Amino acid sequence: MSRPVTARVPAKVNVQLAVGGLRPDGFHDLANVFLAVGLHDEVTATPADALRITVEGADAGQVPLDRSNLAARAALALAERYGIEPGVHLHIAKDIPVAGGMAGGSADAAGALLACDALWGTRATRPELLEICAELGSDIPFSLVGGVALGRGRGELLTPLETGGTFHWVFAVADGGLSTPAVYRECDRLREESGTGASAADVPDPEPSQALLDALRTGDATALAAAVSNDLQPAALSLRPALAGTLRAGADAGALASLVSGSGPTCAFLAKDTEAAQAVATALAASGTCRTVRVTSGPVPGARLVGDA
């Protein structure tokens, strides 16, 4: 196949992020309940003499254009596995906030993997693609799968979850990003400071909330709001105290739940319905506590080829 191939990949919100203690390998065991939402990046793969990355859209200037880019690493990993030259131009059209705790970089990696597989005709199996995803990063397998899933291990071991409806979300995007490793380090520091300890021997194994799983299965937004949680939120607030004002503004506007999305700094607000989501978004936009506001819903499918492909 020589024509360009485009993959469309969704953002995610963590409706539960339970973080275990620090493992000897530097990672943390997680019980991570992902929900894919309708904000998407598009990754277009075009034949080229060498690997090249270009980016357009919001915050494009913050995205690396070298081989440290996760999309580039995905293309290189696929090419290496199949013994082919990674000659491809990857163009990323960004709509997912950059460094915002919504897995934008992970989405781009999954999109690049899917698009390059189609462009090069490697015909990798789904398990092979998921294996490459897991090697590249903890959130990338979910970007490929989408929907709603429980991630165990580092978050890469996925179990799809049943959902009974659509959930309405508002995302408040902050100025600047937060480094995921820095947020995890701060989580460990806060645990040590509190006296509980931060190692895997000190912290109970993370488990999914049964109330949360039940709420997802029945599509009950009010019950889901009562069960959402994020163990990284105190660390994100410690590093970026202004996020507390954003969370408060959304709650005051009638959000059913307010939480930091993943490692932040984007804040997520669960609303009762479309009308309530618009009201929360309007209030947040007027609050002066965030840079921009996005309204969407989920769950939505994972990475998909679009157009003729």
Report which DSSP code applies to 251.
H
Instruction: Kindly report, residue by residue over 224-279, the tens digit of the pLDDT.
Output: 999 999 999 999 999 999 999 999 999 999 999 999 999 889 999 999 999 999 99
DSSP E strands: which ranges in 81-175?
88-94, 148-152, 157-160, 167-173
Cβ neighbours for 91, distance < 8 A, ≥ 6 positions apart: 43, 44, 46, 53, 54, 55, 56
Instruction: Kindly report, residue by residue over 52-91, the tens digit of the pLDDT.
Output: 999 999 788 888 888 989 999 999 999 999 999 999 999 9
- To the question of whether residue 264 is assigned a binding role by annotation, the answer is no
Catalytically active residues, by annotation: 12, 139
Instruction: Kindly report, residue by residue over 180-236, the tens digit of the pLDDT.
Output: 899 999 999 999 999 999 999 999 999 999 999 999 999 999 999 999 999 999 999
Instruction: Kindly report, residue by residue over 154-184, the tens digit of the pLDDT.
Output: 888 999 999 999 999 999 998 877 888 999 9
- Gyration radius from the chain CA atoms: 19
Give the pLDDT of residue 307: 73
- To the question of whether residue 165 is assigned a binding role by annotation, the answer is no
- To the question of whether residue 38 is assigned a binding role by annotation, the answer is no
Give the pLDDT of residue 59: 80
Give the pLDDT of residue 309: 45
Please list the helix, strand and coil fractions of the chain in percent, rounded to the nearest 5, in that order: 35, 30, 35
Q: Does the predicted TM-score (pTM) go above 0.85?
A: yes
Instruction: Kindly report, residue by residue over 92-137, the tens digit of the pLDDT.
Output: 999 998 877 888 899 999 999 999 999 999 999 999 999 999 999 8
- To the question of whether residue 225 is assigned a binding role by annotation, the answer is no
- To the question of whether residue 262 is assigned a binding role by annotation, the answer is no
